[in-house]
Amino acid sequence: PLGKIQWFKNDKKIRSTITTTDNAVTADLSFVVNYTDNDATYKCEVTHPALEIPLMATQNLKVLFMPEHLTIKQDPVHLKPGAQGTITCEAASSYPAVKMSWWHEGAHVKEGINSYTKPGLYGGKLSTIQLTFNVTPEVDGKVYMCQATNIPLLKNMHKDVSLNVYNKPTFDSLPNLMTYTEGDNIFVTLQAKGRPSQITYKWFKNNKPLYTFHNRRIRDSMVNITGALRDDAGNYTCEASNTEGSSTFWFVILVKHRATITNTSIGVVVTEGEDAQLWCKIDGLPLGPEHISWTRPHFFFDKRTSILLENSTSYLTIINATKFDSGYFFCVVNNGIGNESSHGVLLIVQHKPEILKVGNESKTAGNAGMQAKLHCRAAGAPVIRFSWKREGSNITSVSEKYIVEERQLNETFYESTLTIREVDQYNYGDYECTASNDLGRTTSVNRLTVFSHPDPPFSFQLVNATHDELTVSWSPGFDGGDPITYRIRYRPVDKPTYRYDDVGNETRHTIVGLRPDTTYLLNIMARNRYGDSSYMSQSLKVTMEKENLHHKSNSNSEKSATVAEGTHIVFIFLGLIVGISILVSIFLVTYCIHRRRNVTKQMNNDNNDSSSKTPTIEMYAPNTYNGGYEENLSSISAKSETYSNVSPDYNVSIL
């Protein structure tokens, strides 16, 4: 009989396809190869009753196959900065052994690598690769890729691992200086990273805890300030903490704001020849030397002065101070935010008294039986004391006759008033006032007179002039004890006759109606009910500006053009009316003539030879026009007199 055929895989029967013929039997084995077939022994065995030992044939297979999976392990499980870490990638059994490698951000990692193989299942190899590294905060979040390559199969397989480093929070880099302007909104958000990622935040300002308050809101890593104020400026610190520790980040907020003066030196006192230093303390941002100045009207800041800014304080130094330096100097600051700020700083330079004589106070008027007051004013430092004398005898406050009063008007200005309670004939004359202090004394004379005509004014000067008017000013002289008014006279230099303007008790006046490009002489006198003063010893000489003819010509041209345009319109309107009237008249005349002819023709129908008379129509229309106007111009008369007693004149301005 035919024998029996059986296939075995590693001594385990497997099914096959049997085919028999008359004298033969065949067993076909067909299968899909997988990794279990690597190094497997396939055996075909034939048994027959006539055979004591079965017939056998074997075949060993070699199958190329990829690992079923990759496994990655991390040691230690919790990575912490300062330690050493290892990540191990192991490939399951493969044939042949795969080539193992580590990759990071597309780059092949070659340092810290250790790889090896060992026998695996199904005749394959277990491949392992290790990467050793130092754990730092920067390693956190990095991704490494393990790659296994079967070179004969030209196939790869990959697996990624993300490293988690347990570390205290760290802050992203931010600027340490932030500048805003008062009124701005401030929004600061800090980003801290750490593992574990549960992070708590604390805020501090100038080393003191900071909380939500008023215009400030704090939430986690964010600070929001609405409408920043200068008080919001300072050193800010944010502390971030997790289970691994804490970190801090500090920054400075500057709030630009209007510069203001917060304090100044008070009453700096020096003696003549010493150096004086004045100062003002300033709060503002920005603040630099270019934002600060010291000013004083009519004071020349020359080489004797210097200005220094130090620790938000501006110092003005005046070298070799003189009595003329006494007074207020103004510290002025303006940093471009808001309005400027200024404050007066007083400098007192000690010197002996100087009596200040006002032009109209060297005399005092008083009639018998009346009260009279004599004034004496002096400047100096230290404190000034006054004394009065009459004909060499000291005057004291005797209630029946005299009252002496003293008062301090400001830091260096003092006044003494001598009141004569009831003037008699023996009180008229000169009174001597002496002002003294520790550095010296000064004396002046004040005269008591009866009521009289005033003295002439003084400081008669030009204020402004155009082509047809000018303004002058003056200072009053002694008034004679009675209210005064003024009279100004003026004339062209080439004319002998003066014109006069009477002025009230003001000390400024504008004269109008003058001729352009003409030189005038002006003078002034004072008057009261007791009489007139003389005119000033010198006249004022002023030349007027030339008239702007171009402007006047343009104005006249515009006016003429306007009048011509108006006249043209009137003529056109009148022409239209006349034309319509003529057309109507022609129509009426034609109609009348035509009707007259018809009547005549009807009356003389039988006598064709008789003569006919053409009617004459006369049209009479008055054509007279009476027009015109009369205008009277009123003139303002002014007093004038023939020039005489010419006083010296002086030029003030040539305009």
Q: Quick: pLDDT tens for 296-351.
A: 999 999 889 999 999 999 999 999 999 999 999 999 999 999 999 999 999 999 99
| Other CB atoms within 10 A of residue 67 CB | 24
CA 316 to chain CA centroid, Å, is 27
Task: Give residue 634's pLDDT.
Answer: 30
What are the residue ranges in the chain where pLDDT is below 70? 359, 398-399, 549-568, 570-571, 591-655
Say which CATH superfamily domain 70-163 falls into. Immunoglobulins (2.60.40.10)
Rounded to whole angstroms, the Cα distance separating 481 from 644 reads 30
Task: Give residue 584's pLDDT.
Answer: 76
Fold of 265-350: Immunoglobulin-like (2.60.40)
Write out the CATH class of domain 458-543: mainly beta
Task: Give residue 137's pLDDT.
Answer: 82
Task: Give residue 362's pLDDT.
Answer: 85
- Domain map of the chain by residue range? 4-61, 70-163, 167-256, 265-350, 356-449, 458-543
Question: CA nearest 252: which of 236, 270, 274?
Answer: 236
**Domain 167-256, architecture per CATH:** Sandwich (2.60)
Task: Give residue 286's pLDDT.
Answer: 95
Torsion of CA 73, 79, 82, 85, to 10 degrees: 0
Check whether the bond before 483 is cis (ω within 30° of 0).
Answer: no
Residue type, 217: R
Task: Give residue 68's pLDDT.
Answer: 93
Residues 6+ apart with CB under 8 A from 615: 593, 596
CB 72 within 8 A of CB 85: no
Task: Give residue 590's pLDDT.
Answer: 72
Task: Give residue 570's pLDDT.
Answer: 64
Task: Give residue 598's pLDDT.
Answer: 55
Task: Give residue 632's pLDDT.
Answer: 31
CB 258 within 8 A of CB 335: yes
Task: Give residue 611's pLDDT.
Answer: 35
Write out the CATH class of domain 356-449: mainly beta
Rounded to whole angstroms, the Cα distance separating 363 from 352 reads 24
